[in-house]
Amino acid sequence: MAKRSVWSDNRFWQRSAAWVTGFASILLIWLTFDTSAQISMGTDADLQNGVTKRVPAPTVINYKITYEMDTTRGHEVPVIGEKEMFFGRDDWSEEEAAELLHLGKLGSQAKNCMNCHTLLGNGAYYAPDLTKAWLDPAWGPEGSLQSMTGKNTKEEAMAEFLQHPSQYPTHARMMPDLGITADEAQGLVAFLKHMSSIDTNGFPRNFGKIKGAVHGK
């Protein structure tokens, strides 16, 4: 009788497959819980105590957000700075901020922003990526988009544009008027500001190349 080989033996492959499948299942369950911890939202206390969270609390809208190159990590990271006025206030409470963000999130879903834009990697590239839109210098004090709307602050300029997008030539493919109300626009701007403060490991990659996007460059 020919010598039996382990390689052609069913039991060896069965046991190997059982090991790999079982181990992978455990790893995936662990990964699920590990991810939940990583993406859980921070609290207002974290912001006040300078605790860095990947997703900061909604009250981050009370703070100035800048985009800085992190040489150790090799990409830009959002940095939460001192207090800053947001629609004339810098004392949005946890409840108010959460409510505003919720309105913005529902608005973004109702108006289907992702049909054209990209938010946190989800959506389309027919219109500009909105993940870091708040940090775009074009909406800043000397930016062309802010001066175009005739408003004095970034949030008011963005809210004005969202309410009457078809009046302003911003992009080769102009945004249609979606009937966004003043309240919804405020919520959407809060939603965008909060989104820009999320540490996305440098995504979108090309954002830092916009002139002025990364602090002082």
Partner 1 sequence: MFEPFVDVVPSFFGWLNQGPLTLTIFLHTVIILPMFWIYKQEKARIEREG
Nearest approach, Cβ of 22 to partner 1 (angstroms)?
11
Number of residues that bind partner 1 (CB under 8 A): 24
Nearest approach, Cβ of 94 to partner 1 (angstroms)?
22
> Which of 23/126 has CB closer to partner 1?
23
- Compute the residue count for the chain: 217
With beta carbons less than 8 A apart as the criterion, state whether 40 and 55 touch. yes
> Which of 3/209 has CB closer to partner 1?
3
**Token pair for 182:** 């003043």
Torsion angle of C-alpha atoms 142, 147, 150, 154, degrees rounded to 10:
-50
- Residue 25 binds partner 1 (CB under 8 A): no
Rg (CA), the chain: 23
Beta-carbon contacts of 1 under 8 Å, excluding residues fewer than 6 positions away, are: none
SS3 content of the chain, % helix, strand, coil (to 5): 45, 10, 40
Beta-carbon contacts of 58 under 8 Å, excluding residues fewer than 6 positions away, are: 41, 92, 94, 97, 98, 100, 101, 190, 194
The residue within the footprint of partner 1, chosen from 25, 48, 52, 112 (CB under 8 A), is 52
Please give the residues from 182 up to 211 whose contact with partner 1 meets the rule CB under 8 A: 199
The residue within the footprint of partner 1, chosen from 36, 37, 50, 211 (CB under 8 A), is 37
- Residue 32 binds partner 1 (CB under 8 A): no
The residue within the footprint of partner 1, chosen from 29, 31, 110, 174 (CB under 8 A), is 31
Segment contacting partner 1 (CB under 8 A): 35-43, 90-98, 141-149, 150-158? Answer: 35-43
- Residue 164 binds partner 1 (CB under 8 A): no
With beta carbons less than 8 A apart as the criterion, state whether 119 and 131 touch. yes
Chain residues binding partner 1 by CB under 8 A are: 1, 3-4, 6, 9, 11-12, 15-16, 19-20, 23, 31, 34-35, 37-38, 52-54, 70, 72-73, 199
